[in-house]
Amino acid sequence: MENLAAILVPIACGCVLPIVAILSGVRKKMNETNQRTQIVLAAIEKNPEMDLEEIMKKISRKPGLLKEKLLTKLLWGCLTTLLGIGLIGFGIFLGENQLGGTDDPMTAICFGLISLGVGIAFLVNYFVGKKMLAKEIEAEEKTVTEQV
């Protein structure tokens, strides 16, 4: 029975969990599309001479600004880097205090190194993107201020 659990847990985490996450994302997008369709159909029923392009512009999601996207990458970079440092520290603490057996410190350290690597990748992506997209961000800010 213990061997079965040792086999099923990695399969569930590695296969089933990503599939469920993808399906939930697809379902969310389908629901948003269906809601927009219902809104447009209701508007057409009430006033058939209404401008559909204007309605679609009002109910469609606005694309995020470049600066917002970069700040999101900075946020995730800081979070995952700090998580990685915390896990590495926790693994070292477990190893030095001889807590949790022999595998637990290395597991925490490995997950910490992975998280640290992902965080550093996000931070590098932020700084390189900020440098490369500086002109586009300025132009985008000018157009936003002109619209307001």
Distance CA 74, CA 66 (A): 12
Same domain as 119, residue 102: yes
Q: What is the pTM of this model?
A: 0.62
Same domain as 138, residue 67: yes
Q: How confident is the model at residue 100, as a pLDDT? A: 57
User: Into how many domains does the chain fold?
Assistant: 2
Domain with 146, as residue range(s), is 63-148
Q: How confident is the model at residue 148, as a pLDDT? A: 61
Same domain as 50, residue 7: yes
Distance CA 79, CA 49 (A): 50
Query: Which tens digits make up the pLDDT trace of 4-45?
Result: 777 877 787 788 888 988 999 999 999 988 888 888 888 888
Same domain as 148, residue 84: yes
Same domain as 142, residue 114: yes
Query: Which tens digits make up the pLDDT trace of 54-110?
Result: 777 777 777 777 888 899 999 999 999 999 999 999 888 888 877 655 567 888 889
For residue 64, the 8-state DSSP code is P
